[in-house]
Amino acid sequence: MMPKQKGILVIISGPSGSGKGTIVKELIQKERYALSISVTTRKPRFTEEEGIHYFFRTHEQFQEMIEQGEMLEYADFCGNYYGTPKSYVEEQLQNGKDVILEIEVQGALQVKSLYAESIFVFVIPPTLDELRSRLTHRGTEDECIIEKRIKRALEEIKLIAQYDYVVTNDVILKAVSDIHSIVRAEHLKPKRNEIWKEYTKGDDH
C-alpha cells in the first residue's frame, strides 16, 4: 500500500476586504482541510471568540511565544502582532491534512523560506473601488484604521508576484472552487502522487 500523502500548506493572503475570510470558511467545510488559528495582540471584535477566530494575547505573552520558538511566522499588521503557532501546523500536515494559513504578506514570505513546498494564493477583489467599498462598509473598523488598511492593501498588492496564484473574488463559490482546484492539482504532481512508483518497482532496465 502507498504511504499516506503528507498534507500541503496552503497560504492564503489578500487585503482586508478581499473576502478571504469568507472563502476560508467555505473551504474548511471539506474534511481535507485544517485551519490554523493565529495568535494576535489585537483586541477581539464583538463577533469574535477566543480560540475560534484567534488566540488573543498581550504583547508580553506574544513576545514570550516568540522567544520560546513557538511561532512558525509572525508579523506586525497595522500596529498589532499576528502569528501562527507552529505545533498545530506540523501535526496536521503529518496527519495528511491540507493546512490553511490565512495570513498577511510579510508572514507569508517567511513561510516561503521555511516550507518551500507550500502553495501561495493571493485573493483580490475584482476592482480597487470594490475593495474600498468593502472595507468602508464593513463596520468593524474606524476611519483611521480603514485608511491604514487601504494603504496596507496597496502595499500588499505590489508583492503579488511572489505568489503562485491570484484568485479574483467576484463570486465567492467560484473563488472557493478555484482554490480547491489548485490544491487538488498540487496533490497530483508526481512528487506527491507517487502511485507511479509502484509501476517501476523491480524495473532494472
| Residues lying near ligand 5GP in the complex (CB under 6 A) | 16, 38, 42, 73-75, 77, 82-84, 102-104, 106-107
Q: Smallest Cα–Cα separation from 72: which of 44, 91, 98? A: 91
d(CA 11, CA 163): 9
User: Based on CB atoms, which residue is closest to ligand 5GP, 8 or 146?
Assistant: 146
- Rounded to a whole number of angstroms, the minimum distance from the CB of residue 192 to ligand 5GP is 25
- Rounded to a whole number of angstroms, the minimum distance from the CB of residue 200 to ligand 5GP is 41
Q: Which residue is nearest to ligand 5GP (CB)?
A: 107
User: Based on CB atoms, which residue is closest to ligand 5GP, 1 or 144?
Assistant: 144
- Backbone φ, ψ for residue 43 (5° rounding): -75, 145
- Rounded to a whole number of angstroms, the minimum distance from the CB of residue 104 to ligand 5GP is 4
The DSSP annotation for 155-190 comes to HHHTTGGGSSEEEE-SSHHHHHHHHHHHHHHHHTST
Q: Which 8-state DSSP code applies to residue 4?
A: P
- Rounded to a whole number of angstroms, the minimum distance from the CB of residue 114 to ligand 5GP is 13
